[in-house]
Amino acid sequence: MAAPPGLEDPLLQTISGPRDLRLLPSAHLQALAREIREFLIGKVMARGGHLGSNLGMVEITIALHRVFHSPEDTLLFDTGHQAYVHKLLTGRQAGFDTLRTLGGLSGYPSREESPHDHIGNSHASTALAYADGIAKARRLKGEEGRSVVAVVGDGALTGGLAWESLNNLSDGEGRPVIVVLNDNGRSYAPTHGGCARALGPLLESLGFVYIGPVDGHDIAAVERALRTARTLPSPSVVHCKTRKGYGYRPAELDLGEHMHAIPASDPQTGKPLSGTGLTWTQVFAEHLCALGETRPGLVAITAAMPGPTGLDAFGKRFPGRMFDVGIAEQHAMVSAAGLAMEGFHPVVAVYATFLNRAFDQVLLDVAMQGLPVTVVLDRAGITGPDGASHHGMWDLAILSAVPGLRVAAPRDGRRLRELLEEAVDCTGPAALRFPKATAGIELAAVERSDGMDVLWSSGHDVLLIAIGAMAEPCLEAAALLGAEGVGVSVLDPRWVLPVAPGVRQAVGAHQLVVTVEDGVVTGGAGAVIGQECGIGPRMRHLGLPHAFIQHGSREQLLAEAGLTGPGIAHAVRKELAR
């Protein structure tokens, strides 16, 4: 066996897997940690991704792979965006040149990518439940000696599911699961709630052996704590205190989010390399603040994401009227219902993908009671490089099942302002959806009728019903088809659900109707329009496939789904040819 490299040699390139790491002398570990940070800063700055959370996980991850033998021992990362160092130490260094690109390395753990990744879902607060099930299975199979370790951090312990899992793990019968808490005091923003202040006594009263707090940037200290936990016959918690963005000055100075998730940026300054024009989120944030000036009953709620959803501006403008409830979407919705019962109008801003977690509350606690709550769904449709678990592509299909809920999809920034204003004036529940992108150019209407906008009118051969941001490619398709002599109308319903009478009238006036949405076709807005209008084979629905779509740029993935001007025009030609 070759001798380990000297301190002057690059260390990271000698690590092709956890076994190499375990053979590395302890004296070299701090140098390795520095190399890992330099590697992450270079690669993530070049392509974008989750930086701050991973910079804070370097020493913990080194210690984990030195104490435990993955994949025989099971390491579960919650949240998944803190697993970059784990990927580096399990033989995926070369993949970082393709991080979060189409066909490249995922930004989250991926079962398809490596046997060292046991789970692929990257939503927070789930790992403890996975650990409970895996440990139960090991006990039933009589497998001894294979540790189950759940690495919980970045605020995941503020989620209710995590506490349901702790409750189940606490009986501890033959299930010595090890919980490693990466406590950086934050999720996307500072972690809220009282649990963090009473972790030790609280967890010990539940039956866990509590070890800590430990300096999470001291590899030797973390290793000692993990080796102690590994010997215990009962469940344990190793509490590691860390700093998000540790070791990179621009991230440490970014007190808002410590460069949690970043676009391609300059490694010297930490500033984005490009980006012009207001994003949808910025348009929403600015107009919500404007509405707050004249509506004292308007309040805002976020589930640990005031910055990414744009609500931090509202909170600064109106202290006391913005509530960050932690990673707890279910609580956010029911708390909003309570506020609405008392005469306020809550705006709950969440990523569309996280709406899935609070469907029961939207259905039964908000809509069934007819409460005036506005749900703003950021990053609806294809989000791009975050992949399958983060695409907000199910929202329209989910919300179409909710009676009494109005759903709007603005096509541009001006319509976002209009529809947000209409939503907060509603006497019942409403939702708005918009993508992760620049708001783009204003798309003026030819005419407005019954609250709907006609964007193009050159005949009655084809009606394109454009849902939200799909208006621009629909207009491009109309121009292509019009040049070929096809009479086309493009309609933006503005309020997509429920289907307005005017949509039925427009449908009846055209030979072929094509609905276009950046949500799943199955059960989506187009399907509802088809059911309401009942015209069968004269209608075609374009949207995202009934599948889990992997990561890539938004533009690439929309093109693959045929949701571009040429793609829509091609689909129309095929239908006309029939």
Q: Which residues are catalytic?
A: 244, 329, 357
Q: What residues does 153 pair with on adjacent strands?
A: 182
129 Cβ contact partners less than 8 Å away, ≥ 6 residues apart:
161, 164, 165, 168
Is residue 326 marked as binding?
no
Is residue 118 marked as binding?
no
Q: How far apart are CA 327 and CA 9, in angstroms?
A: 42
* Helix, strand, or coil (residue 123): coil
Is residue 123 marked as binding?
yes
Q: What residues does 520 pair with on adjacent strands?
A: 544
Distances in Å between the alpha carbon of 317 and those of 285, 346, 350? Answer: 11, 16, 20
Is residue 155 marked as binding?
yes
Q: How far apart are CA 151 and CA 222, in angstroms?
A: 13
Please give the single-letter amino acid code of residue 499: V
In contact, 344 and 297? CB cutoff 8 Å: yes
Backbone angles phi, psi at 519, to 5 degrees: -130, 175
Within 422-536, strands assigned E span: 430-433, 447-449, 452-457, 462-466, 488-492, 495-497, 512-520
Nearest in space to 321 (alpha carbons), one of 348, 352, 296:
296
In contact, 554 and 380? CB cutoff 8 Å: no
∠ CA 231-82-554, rounded to 5°: 150
Handedness of CA 228, 229, 231, 233 (dihedral sign): positive
Is residue 122 marked as binding?
yes
Is residue 110 marked as binding?
no
Distances in Å between the alpha carbon of 528 and those of 15, 359, 538, 541, 546? Answer: 54, 19, 15, 10, 16
Backbone angles phi, psi at 26, to 5 degrees: -55, -30
In contact, 403 and 429? CB cutoff 8 Å: no
- Return the axis-axis angle of helices 525-533 and 501-508, rounded to nearest 10°: 70
Nearest in space to 119 (alpha carbons), one of 103, 131, 137:
131
In contact, 119 and 111? CB cutoff 8 Å: yes
Q: How far apart are CA 246 and CA 251, in angstroms?
A: 7
Please give the single-letter amino acid code of residue 552: G
* Helix, strand, or coil (residue 523): coil
H helices, E strands: number in the chain = 22, 20
Is residue 124 marked as binding?
yes
Is residue 192 marked as binding?
no
Backbone angles phi, psi at 261, to 5 degrees: -130, 130
Is residue 312 marked as binding?
no
- Return the axis-axis angle of helices 280-294 and 413-424, rounded to nearest 10°: 40
Instruction: Round to the nearest angstrom and report the end-to-end CA distance of the chain.
Output: 69
Binding residues for Mg(2+): 154, 184
Binding residues for thiamine diphosphate: 81, 122-124, 155-156, 184, 248, 329
